Structure formats: C-alpha cells, structure tokens
C-alpha cells in the first residue's frame, strides 16, 4: 500500500524562490567558521600541510578518488547528470 509522492523533484532542475538564491553554488549559508577552522584553511593555502599527511593522502588512494576530471570543456563524472551513479 505505498502511495506515489505528489511531487518528485527533477535532479537536473534548480528550484529556488528567487534567482538571487541560486548564485554560483559556491557559498554555504548558516555555517560559521571559528579560529581553528581559519587556521586550518590558512595552513592549506600556505602549503604548510605536513608532507607525511600529503603522502598518506596519495598512498591511500584518496587523492585519486577526489581528483577526477573529465576532458577539457566537459563536466566531471560526479557532476554529469547523464552518468550512472
């Protein structure tokens, strides 16, 4: 006895009350950074991330997993709505 939902959102469509709410999808609202967050961000931006941590990131394969891009001018697979999950 399941009833289909009255509305199924289209994952390829942007739903927003106001066009100004859409933006470039690069901002997160409602998140406040504390001093520790700022210090961590500064460490990454300055290149002072410890070499052993960088090596671990590469050795565990996490870097390869996160660094996936498509051909120039195309969307990466995780952003392409035509790709299977």
3-state secondary structure the chain: CCCCCCCCCCCCCCCCCCHHHCCCCCCCCCCCCCHHHHHHHHHHHHCCCCHHHHHHHHHCCHHHHHCCCCCCCCCCHHHCCCCCC
Model confidence, pTM: 0.29
Digit-coded pLDDT (tens) for 1-14: 788 888 888 877 77
Digit-coded pLDDT (tens) for 15-51: 777 766 665 555 566 778 889 888 877 776 566 677 7
């Amino acid at each position: 006895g399941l009833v289909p939902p009255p509305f199924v959102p289209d994952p390829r469509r942007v739903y927003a009350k106001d066009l100004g709410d859409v933006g470039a999808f690069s901002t997160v609202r409602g998140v406040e950074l504390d001093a520790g967050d700022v210090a961590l961000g500064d460490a990454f931006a300055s290149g002072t991330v410890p070499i052993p941590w960088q090596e671990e990131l590469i050795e565990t394969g996490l870097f390869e997993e996160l660094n996936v891009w498509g051909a120039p001018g195309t969307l990466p697979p995780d952003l392409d709505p035509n790709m299977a999950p």
